[in-house]
Structure 1
Amino acid sequence: MKLKIKLALLFIFIAASTQLKAQSSTFLKGDKVLNFGVGLASTGYSGNGYSTTVPPLSVSMEFAVKDNLFNDSKCGLGVAPYIGYASYNYGYNFGFGATKTKLTDLVIGVNGNVHYELAKKLDTYAGLMLGYENVSWKDSGFNYVAGSGMFVGLNIGGRYYFNDNLAAMMELGYGVTYLNLGLALKL
């Protein structure tokens, strides 16, 4: 079932990319890029007793607000609202019987990224994220909020464009995951 959903999403992205107008693969003022990611290294919970119920997922929409940054035609500035979510189960036994706890991690923030085109079709960037993280768990009918609050994080990433609109994306840094892989769609 999950494979069918992933294949359907991939088909939609590829079909949409062929319908959009042709654009340069560089990041220029006025460009909008929609990023979809799946995390491989959780910032939340892993190890003994933890199991992933929803892998770290993220979506952001980056807007190019300035090109020719620092008087360099390959350099630009982008702003990207970001949302990420992950969910985990944790099982433990304190001698009173086994208990399962559901943990959720929700991250909402904004990235500010400086872009530089290192090679044709390769949009690389580094930036700063300001956001709010809500970590909560539900256990035996009780809801708790823990570890929630504002944060500042750093990130680096890149998008390699297969055509003018569709790219593979990779990001390292703070969010709902430390390593994010996915697809980007230039609108």
Structure 2
Amino acid sequence: MKKVLFTFVMTLALLSAGQVAFAQYEKGDKLLNAGIGLGTYGAGGIGLGGSFEVGIHDAISVGGLFGYSGRNYFGSRFSVLTFGARGSYHFNELLNLGDERIDLYAGLGLGYRSITWNYSGIGSGSSWGSGVLFLGHIGGRYYFQPNIGAFAEVGSGFGTLQAGITFKF
């Protein structure tokens, strides 16, 4: 009888451990996106970067972003470094989404883009095109596990289209 009871309790424990509880975005969440960006400014090709935001309200998060892309082009080295601050509005409650694994958001920000290039031929390098920029993004996250998922964004930042992995703390 003890073996049957032990087996029953262990089976219930394993089954309940396998249940995954998701929660939609809420105040206090810390969100980290890390991925690649396509259509990067100036350099073209693929960039690397990400963003980090903290929930300050059940529908609003604020944080920062960072991205880098570089490319060799006919004897020149072209690189773009982007960083800034951003905020997002999360539409989950407004749209009354039934699936808590989805987080839809859009936002604005202010950043700085540093563009440098070095030419190995005649002349030197330049930082033409560097400066302050306004940012905008629309995106979504899909959580495979309560704290791990995938994200995709369109808009400005380190790439026109950005996608990768997302973590919620």
TM bucket by the smaller chain?
0.7 to 0.9
Q: Secondary structure at the match of 2:26?
A: coil
Which of 86, 97, 102 is the equivalent residue of 2:69?
A: 86
More strand by percentage: 1
1:104-126 CA distances to partner (integer Å, 9 max, x unpaired)?
A: 00001111100022332100100
Which residue does the alignment assign to 2:102?
122
Q: Is contact 1:23–1:165 with CA below 8 Å preserved after alignment?
A: no
Q: Is contact 2:43–2:79 with CA below 8 Å preserved after alignment?
A: no
Q: Which segments of 5 or more consecutive residues in structure 1 lack a partner in the other structure?
A: 1-21, 47-51, 68-75, 92-99
CA distance in 1, matches of 2:24, 2:47: 28
Counterpart AA for 2:69:
A
Which of 78, 84, 99 is the equivalent residue of 1:109?
A: 84
Answer yes or no: is 1:149 the counterpart of 2:131.
Answer: yes
Which of 126, 135, 150 is the equivalent residue of 1:168?
A: 150
CA distance in 1, matches of 2:52, 2:161: 18
Q: TM-score, normalising length from structure 1?
A: 0.72
Q: Is contact 1:123–1:159 with CA below 8 Å preserved after alignment?
A: yes
Q: Highest Rg: 1 or 2?
A: 2
CA distance in 2, matches of 1:29, 1:23: 17
Q: TM-score, normalising length from structure 2?
A: 0.79
- Count of residue pairs brought into register by the alignment: 143
Which residue does the alignment assign to 1:29?
27
Residue 143 (structure 1) shift: 3.1
Root mean square deviation, CA, Å: 1.7
Which residue does the alignment assign to 2:11?
none
Residue 166 (structure 1) shift: 0.3
Which residue does the alignment assign to 1:131?
111
Q: Secondary structure at the match of 2:114?
A: strand
CA distance in 2, matches of 1:23, 1:176: 33
- Return structure 1 stretches of 4+ with deviation > 6 angstroms: none
Counterpart AA for 1:186:
K
Q: Is contact 1:113–1:128 with CA below 8 Å preserved after alignment?
A: yes
Change (3 A) 1:115 1:153: same
Which of 42, 48, 51 is the equivalent residue of 1:60?
A: 51
